[in-house]
Amino acid sequence: MQIKEILQTAEIGKEITVKGWVRTKRVSSNVVFININDGSVIHNIQAVAETGIIDEETLKLVTTGSCVAITGTLIESQGQGQKVELQVKSVFVYGTADPEKYPLQPKKHSLEFLREIAHLRPRTNTFSAILRVRHSLAFAINKYFNDNGFFYLHTPIITGSDAEGAGEMFRVSTLDPIKPPLNEDGSVNYKEDFFGKETNLTVSGQLEGELGAMALSKIYTFGPTFRAENSNTTRHLAEFWMIEPEVAFFELEDNMNLAEDFTKYVINYALTNCYDDLVFLENRLKEEEKNKKKEEQSELSLIEKLRFVVDNDYVRLTYTEAIKILLNSKRHKEGKFQYPVEWGIDLQSEHERYLVEKHFKKPVILTNYPKDIKAFYMKQDEDGKTVRAMDVLFPGIGEIIGGSQREDDYEKLLQRTKEVGIHEDTIWWYLETRKYGSAPHSGFGLGFERMVLFVTGMTNIRDVIPFPRTPKSAEF
Amino acid sequence: MQIKEILQTAEIGKEITVKGWVRTKRVSSNVVFININDGSVIHNIQAVAETGIIDEETLKLVTTGSCVAITGTLIESQGQGQKVELQVKSVFVYGTADPEKYPLQPKKHSLEFLREIAHLRPRTNTFSAILRVRHSLAFAINKYFNDNGFFYLHTPIITGSDAEGAGEMFRVSTLDPIKPPLNEDGSVNYKEDFFGKETNLTVSGQLEGELGAMALSKIYTFGPTFRAENSNTTRHLAEFWMIEPEVAFFELEDNMNLAEDFTKYVINYALTNCYDDLVFLENRLKEEEKNKKKEEQSELSLIEKLRFVVDNDYVRLTYTEAIKILLNSKRHKEGKFQYPVEWGIDLQSEHERYLVEKHFKKPVILTNYPKDIKAFYMKQDEDGKTVRAMDVLFPGIGEIIGGSQREDDYEKLLQRTKEVGIHEDTIWWYLETRKYGSAPHSGFGLGFERMVLFVTGMTNIRDVIPFPRTPKSAEF
């Protein structure tokens, strides 16, 4: 019986066996207290044994990190902090954990240290809470789309086209790494590679997702994506998970409605289903921020922040309007933005966060960005200068969603591919969706780890994925 | 309003707009019939327009594959084959599809031809049905595990270790492909590569999954996995999706119970939620098998086969017992197996299918395989010859699940890694789970496409994934 179930049903007087890992052991004069956790829930269960119940030899093996099965009777707790506890009848030790060597002794560990032992950190309260929340968010995403008539489409991970142009890519190959076969001109002869062509890891499933939407009307992807960018920041991973819905007959307005409804649903799901984990993470964050300057502390607690998103309408305005607000801001006038503000710039995180956190104090959806700073596939506005893009901006995170209505006019799309230097023969299949039964359609991408960061209140993206991949690091 | 919803609610007399792709247009003396599909469901909706309602110019553009919005009144159908139809008031054409060029004209297309136009094949009945079933199976998998207290763990795609030893791997690199940096001994200097070491695409998330189970008790993975094997068969893909549950405190028996309960749940979910698609696919299969010899035709229809799995207990026996049955079989005695049968062999598909389809006529779980043909991490039996492996065998498919109880003894595991030539320093983190709080645990892997093959009745694995990756092919 798992601890989550025990705490929920709590049948006093019943004999049960709890299997899990020892968090702490405390021996007092005539009683032993053993706290066990099995990862099913943030809470431990406390086992209490009177002296003599557990033999000396066994008791020695019961140390922090050891794995045990404890059988006993569930009773109302005598102490504080828990409703029920286990009156021990017998203890079996599955596996020991040498106190001299086991790194997760009951004391405070830095997040940096825990990253180095990512194979063990899920055994801590913080990381087990993050992983449970991560699970619930993933399930909520699948449930939302399923319940709303979307089909989960597995788009390819290995791709022969760099059409998205979203960044540097990882090459996938089985050629001899030292002496690859070469063409006469000295270039690599990829015809001899596994796939008979040069292949890379995908940066986005969107283009293939559009193919699905042009047949099934409503699809979404949820899979790993990759960027070979040498960015050693708290916001970048080389391997991360992305969600990309794509809907036929949706225009920009529908797309905004979907993004707002979807993010609210997912966050609300976490509030309902992970409340205890969120309370723990909220307290962790408060503790962490104690050492920060007042102005760097969060105004809202974690749960307040999540409720705030769920309860408020997102503000919607155009990029052009946003630039005006930034130009008129006191912060700009006092020269306190690090990056310049003018129409045409790619907004920096400081600008996005100013709009969200200072000006509107609400999530913001910016639309109709300049054509030149957005991808080739976005639908051009009639002014010829902007495209039907939309970015959803969240407090603390900045951009959490990027999307657009797609260009559905074959000639316009073809021209844009030429302008940005994409060869027609690499994406003939994409262009054909505009040749045969083209339709207005829209979609967006959500970086899953950005959402997990937001909901857990963590600050480093390496702490919300089980085994982070970053420059010079691919451990475990 | 999507066609699925229209057919479910069917409010006669209501004015609605249907958006979708034209499957067929038929013009009779005074009426035009247009069949539209939007991918939400296998069924089309028929729009009926009296002559003159649609102007000549527009009507010319309404051809197979064009995308339209048709507004009209929902009425009870006059003809056969559908309950309701749409009495047309107006037609708007979003995108045309030149009948001279659009490849999906209303006639029979071979699966081989459709593979070449994988960007358009989701617009056919067969592939839209497959993709809807695939979606439902994926959702059922996530729902089953969520409802049973498992946490979805995203294990890494790019990996620095080939510990599983499950097959050839794809190298992931950003080094110069022509002149990579070399060490003094002439080998590639992977320290200069993106991750500072040699990295490959994962062949399994199991080892990392075990790390999760040793903290959260019950986890599952569901992600892409890769094999760089030059196998051009109907059963192999270079990129496919795998589900791998892993459970602390589960022994082999619990693992078998999980595998049986899980597969039955998922198949039953498809029967309940994809019935119309399965009826379509069942008829497709009957049609396809008409041209086959009697003995090659399926004994059961598709839906009968699925119900058969759901309604029957799986037979459980050891590998050793299975070898005896095979040796005593008429087929063996008459020398009709292609491959030899003796204790110690890796069972071939013909052997597995004989057991399932001829001998037991039920799904079969084989256990306790010879140590030498199974992976290093499987728990050794006391006889020293076999391990606590289990394979689940399905009719038509053979092995659909492979799993085991894992070796939880540190010394035994260490010895096996040495025997199979895995360096301790590449999987120190895996070994440590047996050093600190080790516990009995078990898990298995399900190749997702194998399950989709089984449920859809398709015979080539390239037809159950949207964009297949196979030797010399990574299109779209």
Closest CA–CA distance from residue B322 to any residue of chain A (Å): 33
Which of 399-418 (A) contact B at CB < 8 A?
408
Pair of tokens at residue A143:
């449930």
pLDDT of amino acid A298: 81
User: How crowded is the C-beta side of B208, counted as CA atoms within 13 Å?
Assistant: 27
pLDDT at A378: 97
Question: Are B68 and B92 a contacting pair, CB within 8 Å?
Answer: yes
Q: What is the pLDDT of residue A58?
A: 97
- Asked if domains A3-107 and A123-168+203-463 share a fold, the reply is no
Question: What residues of A are in contact with residue B411 (Cβ under 8 Å)?
Answer: none
Q: Chain B, 427-456: which have a CB under 8 Å from a chain A CB?
A: 429-430, 432-440
Q: Is B4 on the interface with A (CB under 8 A)?
A: yes
The predicted pLDDT at position B164 comes to 56
Report the candidate in A167, A178, A171 with the shortest Cα–Cα distance to residue B172: A171
Whole-number percent of chain A with pLDDT over 90 = 89
> Between residues 206 and 225 of chain A, which touch chain B (CB distance below 8 Å)?
208, 211-212, 214-218, 223-224
Q: What's the pLDDT at A294?
A: 83
Here the tokens at position B308 are 């058969």
Mean pLDDT of A315-343: 97
Report percent pLDDT > 70 for chain A.
99
pLDDT score for B162: 64
Beta-carbon contacts of residue B457 (< 8 Å; ≥ 6 apart):
B281, B282, B284, B285, B298, B302, B305
What distance in Å separates the CA atoms of residue A310 and residue A301, rounded to the nearest whole number?
A: 14
- What CA–CA distance (Å, rounded) separates B232 from A374? 40
What residues in A contact B44, CB-CB < 8 Å?
Answer: none
Question: Considering just the CA atoms, what is the radius of gyration of chain B in Å?
Answer: 27
As a whole number of angstroms, the distance between CA B311 and CA B316 comes to 16
On the question of pLDDT at A411 being above 70, the answer is yes
- Residue A308 at interface with chain B, using a CB cutoff of 8 Å: no
Instruction: State which CATH number among 2.60.40.2470, 3.30.2420.10, 3.40.50.740, 2.40.50.140 fits the domain covering A3-107.
Output: 2.40.50.140
Confidence of residue A299 (pLDDT cuts 50, 70, 90): confident
Give the residue-averaged pLDDT of A1-10: 92
- Give the residue from chain B lying closest to A439, CA to CA: B94
pLDDT of residue B163: 59
> Which one of A131, A215, A429 has the shortest CB-CB distance to B123?
A215
Q: What is the pLDDT of residue B95?
A: 98
Touching check for A94 and chain B: CB below 8 Å? yes
* CA–CA gap between residue B25 and residue B19 (Å, rounded): 15
**Could you list the pLDDT tens digit for every one of the 476 residues in chain B?**
999 999 998 889 999 999 999 999 999 989 999 999 999 999 999 999 998 999 999 999 999 999 999 999 999 998 777 889 999 999 999 999 999 999 999 999 999 999 999 999 999 999 999 999 999 999 999 999 999 999 999 999 999 876 555 568 999 999 999 999 999 999 999 999 999 999 999 999 999 999 999 999 999 999 999 999 999 999 999 999 999 999 999 999 999 999 999 999 999 999 999 999 999 999 999 999 998 888 788 888 999 999 999 999 999 999 999 999 999 999 999 999 999 999 999 999 999 999 999 999 999 999 999 999 999 999 999 999 999 999 999 988 889 999 999 999 999 999 999 998 888 888 999 999 999 999 999 999 999 999 999 999 999 999 999 999 999 999 99
Which residues in B lie closer than 8 A to residue A139 (C-beta atoms)? 142, 146, 152
At a CB cut-off of 8 Å and minimum separation 6, what does A272 contact? none
Task: Tell me the pLDDT tens digit for each residue of A344-385.
Answer: 999 999 999 999 999 999 999 999 999 999 999 999 999 999
Q: Which residue of A has its CA nearest to B169?
A: A174
pLDDT of A53 > 90? The answer is yes
Q: How confident is the model at residue A79 (pLDDT cuts 50, 70, 90)?
A: confident
Looking up tokens 């709590």 gives A10
Report the alpha-carbon distance of residue B202 to residue A466 in Å, rounded.
15
CATH superfamily of B123-168+203-463: Bira Bifunctional Protein; Domain 2 (3.30.930.10)
pLDDT tens profile A135-148: 999 999 999 999 99
pLDDT at position A163 is: 59
Which of A291-300, A440-449, B71-80, B461-470 has the least mean pLDDT? Answer: A291-300
* Cβ contact A139–B152 (<8 Å): yes
Nearest to B439 by CA among B406, B411, B390, B403: B406
Query: Cα(B273)–Cα(B426) distance, rounded to whole angstroms?
Result: 45
Q: How many CB atoms lie within 10 A of CB B187?
A: 12
pLDDT surpassing 90 at residue A278? yes
HEC letters along chain A: CCHHHHHHHCCCCCEEEEEEEEEEEEECCCEEEEEEECCCCCCCEEEEEECCCCCHHHHHHCCCCCEEEEEEEEEECCCCCCCEEEEEEEEEEEECCCCCCCCCCCCCCCHHHHHHCCCCHHHCHHHHHHHHHHHHHHHHHHHHHHHCCCEECCCCCEECCCCCCCCCCCEEECCCCCCCCECCCCCECHHHCCCCCCEEECCCCHHHHHHHHHHHCEEEEEEEEECCCCCCCCCCCCEEEEEEEEEECCCHHHHHHHHHHHHHHHHHHHHHHCHHHHHHHHHHHHHHHCCCCHHHCCCCCHHHHHHHHHHCCCEEEEHHHHHHHHHCCHHHHCCCCCCCCCCCCCCCHHHHHHHHHHHHCCCEEEEEEEHHHCCCCECECCCCCEEEEEEEEECCCEEEEEEEEECCCHHHHHHHHHHCCCCHHHCHHHHHHHHCCCCCEEEEEEEHHHHHHHHHCCCCHHHCCCCCCECCECCC
Residue B387: predicted pLDDT: 98
Domain boundaries, chain B: 3-107, 123-168+203-463
pLDDT value at residue A19? 98
pLDDT grade for A164, boundaries at 50, 70 and 90: low
Q: What is the pLDDT of residue B323?
A: 98
ipTM over 0.95: yes
d(CA A192, CA A189): 6
A343 touching B (Cβ < 8 Å)? no
Instruction: Give the amino acid at A76.
Output: E
Residues of B in Cβ contact (< 8 Å) with A438: 67, 94-95
Is the pLDDT at A166 greater than 90, yes or no?
no
3-class SS at A403? strand
A113 interface with B at CB cutoff 8 Å: no
Which tokens sit at A50? 């009177």
Phi, psi angle pair for B421, to nearest 5°: 85, 25
User: Nearest C-alpha of chain B: how many angstroms from A175?
Assistant: 9
Q: Where are the beta strands (DSSP E) in A291-397?
A: 315-318, 364-370, 386-394
Q: Exposed, middle or buried by CB within 10 Å (0-12, 13-18, 19+), for A178?
A: exposed
Structure tokens given for A145: 């789309």
